[in-house]
């Protein structure tokens, strides 16, 4: 059952990515040939603007795709992952300490409650409104998948 669910999730991830990307060449719908109208590039200019491909512009120094991020970054990715693990562990221990000692004075408190939280929610809402339709489509699909999994799990857990 879990293999079917994971396979379905992989297929849906790939499908939503393809739908969201459009026809390629910059992710737009124009096919990269320019608008030809006022304010746009001349017809036939395309996305590339005649500069060649990335490998040609970089003198052949671009990534060949045969290595992973760790080897391309000389191990810096491993160090970054270790710092992230350590930070996560520190936060977990700090949270445990605050739960064990609820009367400890808090070092940080949100200023100007409720105005800062309301302003933050407003800015987040504005940013959400500026997202493209493909992002909302992905959200709807993944939300539906999550609700189905949650419902199936709840049904199974209830019968146990």
Structure tokens at 3: 């293999």
Structure tokens at 71: 């080897």
Domain boundaries, the chain: 67-104, 132-160
**Other residues' Cβ atoms within 10 Å of the Cβ of residue 138:** 19
Q: Which residue is associated with the tokens 């200019």?
A: 45
The model's pTM: 0.37
Q: Does residue 98 carry a pLDDT above 50?
A: yes
At 97 the pLDDT is 86
Q: Is the distance from CB of 128 to CB of 122 less than 8 angstroms?
A: no
- Could you tell me the pLDDT band of residue 23, with boundaries at 50, 70 and 90? very low
Please write the tens of the pLDDT for every residue from 28-82: 445 444 444 555 555 555 554 444 555 555 555 555 555 555 555 555 677 888 8
Structure tokens at 104: 């400890």
Higher pLDDT, 11 or 149: 149
Per-residue pLDDT, averaged over 4-17, amounts to: 66
User: What kind and span of H or E run contains 16?
Assistant: helix 2-21
Average pLDDT, the chain: 74
Range with the lowest mean pLDDT among 55-59, 120-124, 155-159? 55-59
Q: Does residue 20 carry a pLDDT above 70?
A: no
**Other residues' Cβ atoms within 10 Å of the Cβ of residue 134:** 15
At 102 the pLDDT is 87
CA–CA gap between residue 154 and residue 140 (Å, rounded): 21
Higher pLDDT, 100 or 15: 100
Please write the tens of the pLDDT for every residue from 135-145: 999 999 999 99
- Could you tell me the pLDDT band of residue 107, with boundaries at 50, 70 and 90? confident
* Whole-number CA gyration radius for the chain: 24
Higher pLDDT, 147 or 42: 147
């Amino acid at each position: 059952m879990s293999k079917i669910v994971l396979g379905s999730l992989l297929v849906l991830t790939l499908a939503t990515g393809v739908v969201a990307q459009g026809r390629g060449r910059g992710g737009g719908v124009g096919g990269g040939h320019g608008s030809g109208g006022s304010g746009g590039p001349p017809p036939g200019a395309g996305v590339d603007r005649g500069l060649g491909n990335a490998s040609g512009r970089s003198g052949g120094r671009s990534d060949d795709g045969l290595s992973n991020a760790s080897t391309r970054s000389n191990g810096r990715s491993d160090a970054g992952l270790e710092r992230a693990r350590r930070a996560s562990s520190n936060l977990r221990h700090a949270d445990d300490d605050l739960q064990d000692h609820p009367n400890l004075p808090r070092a940080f408190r949100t200023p100007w409650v409720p105005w800062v939280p309301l302003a933050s929610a407003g800015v987040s809402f504005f940013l959400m409104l500026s997202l493209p339709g493909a992002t909302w489509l992905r959200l709807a699909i993944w939300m539906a998948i999550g609700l189905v999994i949650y419902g199936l799990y709840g049904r199974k857990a209830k019968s146990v």
